Structure 1
Amino acid sequence: MNKHITILLAEDEPALGVIIKESLETRNFKVLLCENGEKAFEVYKNKSPELLVLDVMMPKKDGFTLAKEIREVDDTIPIIFLTAKSQTQDVVEGFTIGGNDYLKKPFSMEELIVRINNLLNRTKEQKHSEITHISHYTFNFPKQTLQYKNEEKIQLTHREAHLLFHLIKNKNQVLDRSLILNKLWGNDDFFSARSMDVFITKLRKKLNLDDTIQIINVRGFGYKLIC
């Protein structure tokens, strides 16, 4: 099933890099292993991988810097960060940059593979989604843009687009907080919940030109998009 999927893996710990590469290859992924961020960026430009697994702490160019540069030219490729960092601000920064998932070391290979498959499935979902109208807004999920009437288009981040997609899909119904955290963040822990709150706030600001649209917090359950 995965024989045509190419993953770029940037990991500066040689032993760990080889373990991850070999484990993914047993699942029929093609893996391009790089030992630093500079090399990873060159491989990204030349080989066109379909998913990135990036260690945060790398020589020459760290994973966050690498992701920022890639997001300037590619808003859609899924990115998973691997890191020993566990501070809330680091997790939030990773998602704000445009990361799609965040896996703390040490981790199990099975967990990484599940997260990779989840992201690939979400990418397929994105490619087949149609343009949606929310009151006076036009939401283009494949291009990750939001436009109010004839105003200038607003570019959304990968995570903002996916979160808005699920809010619209459950319009006027409660979007279960735990379910969406597990689907988009891979878990429903404190760090992920804080990150989701940040993205909800950003979406509210981007939708505030139309007072018929609200994203309300349903305490203890989740969020509801009302329009």
Structure 2
Amino acid sequence: MKAHLLYVEDDQSLAFVTRDNLELEGYEVTHCPDGNSALEAIQKQQFDLCILDVMLPGVDGFTIATELRKRDRQTPIIFLTAKSLKEDKITGLKLGGDDYIVKPFSIEELILKVDIFLRRRIVTGPSNGSLYAFGNFEFDYGNLQLKTKDGDELTLTQREADLLKMFLDHPNQVLKRSHILEKLWGEDDYFLGR
């Protein structure tokens, strides 16, 4: 499944070249030439990552990021803009941006950063929340399958799958040993003691 990117840029020449390069890398790209069309797009669709210019006709990129963060805290946002002042960078990052790239920029750097953010993001699939992607792995909880991007597959036991799913459902959180044992093994005193 292709990752779907929102790309907001008012410079049509730059937008054409950047969009073309992203599509060559296998991404599906929705381009919006102004802030108003970008706001409409985020209301109608779900995106895996957003690339936002700041200076736009109508609504600016900072406002788009603010609106996106009201409805979605997880989608990575990369600001791609000519605004290079330290204050602008700080504003963008405080509003929920994950990165801030100043124009002129390297298309290779942008593509690498997009790839990194998408690999790090845990994506819950459409099938009852049982499909996850993280790092270089894909995990199909329903079928107990762990796959690498290289195509290697490993069949997990039900307990291993339950444990991995528990960690993926609580990203960047420390889980107490007692909580894990209780959820996976129930009230069995054997596992609760040391």
| TM interval, short-chain normalised | 0.5 to 0.7
Q: CA deviation at 1:133?
A: 5.3
The residue identity in structure 2 corresponding to 1:38 is N
Percent of aligned pairs with the same amino acid = 38
User: Normalising by structure 1, what TM-score?
Assistant: 0.55
Aligned to 2:57: 59
Cα distance in 1 for residues equivalent to 2:42 and 2:28: 14
Distance 2:64 2:11 in 1: 17
What's the secondary structure of 1:128's corresponding residue? helix
Deviation at 1:128, TM superposition (A): 2.1
Q: How many Å separate the matches in 2 of 1:40 and 1:10? A: 7
Please report how far the alpha carbon of residue 132 of structure 1 lies from its aligned counterpart in structure 2 after TM superposition: 1.6
Aligned pairs for 1:212-227 (under 5 A) are: none
What's the CA shift string for 1:201-226, capped at 9, x where partnerless?
Answer: xxxxxxxxxxxxxxxxxxxxxxxxxx
Give the number of equivalent residue pairs. Answer: 132
Matched AA of 1:132: V
- Is 2:182 the partner of 1:128? no
Distance in 2 (CA, whole Å) between partners of 1:70 and 1:5 is 18
Q: Identify the residue that residue 107 of structure 2 maps to in structure 1.
A: 109
Trace 1:63-212 onto structure 2 (pairs within 5 A): 63-124=61-122, 125=134, 128=168, 130=170, 131-132=173-174
Match status 1:21 vs 2:61:
no
The gaps in structure 1 that reach 5 residues or longer are 135-227
How far did 1:44 drift? 1.6
Secondary structure of the 1:132 match is: coil
Distance 2:169 2:117 in 1: 15
* Amino acid in the other structure paired with 1:78: P
Render the CA deviation track for 1:16-66: whole Å, top value 9, x for unaligned.
Answer: 011111110101100000000110111122121111000010010000011
Amino acid at match of 2:57: P
Give 1:4 deviation, angstroms: 1.6
Shift of 1:129: 5.8
Three-state SS of the structure 2 residue aligned to 1:72 is helix
Q: Which of the two has higher C-alpha Rg?
A: 2
Instruction: Tell me which residue corresponds to 2:35.
Output: 37
Query: 1:220: which partner in 2?
Result: none
- Report the TM-score when normalising by structure 2: 0.64
- In the aligned structure 2, how far is the partner of 1:129 from the partner of 1:104? 34
4+ residue segments displaced more than 4 Å? none
Which protein, 1 or 2, shows the higher relative CO under an 8 Å CA cutoff with sep ≥ 6? 1
- Which position in structure 2 is the counterpart of 1:8? 6
Equivalent residue letter for 2:168 = H
Secondary structure, aligned partner of 1:102: strand
Which shifted more, 42-51 or 59-68? 42-51
RMSD of the alignment, in Å? Answer: 1.8
Cα distance in 1 for partners of 2:6, 2:102 equals: 18
Distance 2:42 2:13 in 1: 22
